[in-house]
Amino acid sequence: MGSKFGIGSLSIVMTLLLSLVPKLEAEFTTVEQEIKSDGSISFLVIGDWGRRGLYNQSQVALQMGKIGEKMNIDFVVSTGDNIYDNGMKSIDDPAFQLSFANIYTSPSLQKPWYLVLGNHDYRGDVEAQLSPALRSIDSRWICMRSFIVDAEIAELFFVDTTPFVDAYFLNPEGQNYDWRGVSPRESYLQTTLKDLETSLRESTAKWKIVVGHHAIKSASIHGNTKELESLLLPILEVIFLPTLIRVSPTLFKTKPTYAF
């Protein structure tokens, strides 16, 4: 006896197949940030900080509060490694309180905190740091993989740089990384780069600021991040260098040629 396979059955099968495809989270979401009445903004930037108040974190937080009041800051930017050493275990991990909520208590720091992930954050339950549930604990916390903060005069483009680094996949040195939302990696990186380039080209903000955890070029012990040099830097050069040449032509003898 032959079996019937109608349109309804086909749609159910397609739905099941799609549900089995890993969800990529590279798309950029835009967050609107209020600015001062005169059109200006001011903000603090911090990175590699989540140490449960130790290693002078509390002292730095105190000074941040003083500077934040003096500058009348609008928000705080975190470049990642928000929770050492191995991220958060769950949304109930006391590390969130010990490293963030109970540390940055100055009135001037009660503003939105925009956070991108670092490599240490990926060593724990990465979905915990990304969970909106943390905002019910502390409403300042706004953490996503890659996203845009639109502050009118400036747009900040937060880029999830950890998945770009080959060593975390090929030689993790005994560390366990939570790659949920990233696999398949190649597709994730392609989507991130494409969305970043499109967003930068479409931006009409006077200031465009790209934020990530890993330095493209650095004189520190870690050195340059070769994966970002080869994949991210060319995009930034193509978009930003023509503007720099127009503003300061004497800094550039010839306009560089780019090949992809």
Peptide bond into 184 cis (omega under 30): yes
176-to-123, 146, 165, 211 alpha-carbon distances in Å: 6, 22, 15, 25
Sign of CA dihedral 228, 232, 238, 239: negative
Identify the residue whose tokens are 């990529």: 24
In the structure encoding, which two tokens stand for residue 251, read together? Answer: 């800094």
DSSP 205-249: -SEEEEEESS-SS-SSTT---HHHHHHTHHHHHHHHHHHHHHH-G
Dist CA 82 CA 172 (whole Å): 19
Active site residue ranges: 222
Dist CA 1 CA 25 (whole Å): 45
Assign 45 to helix, strand or coil.
strand
Measured in Å, how far apart are the chain's first and last C-alpha atoms?
58
∠ CA 210-79-215, rounded to 5°: 65
What backbone torsions phi and psi does residue 142 show, to the nearest 5 degrees? -130, 100
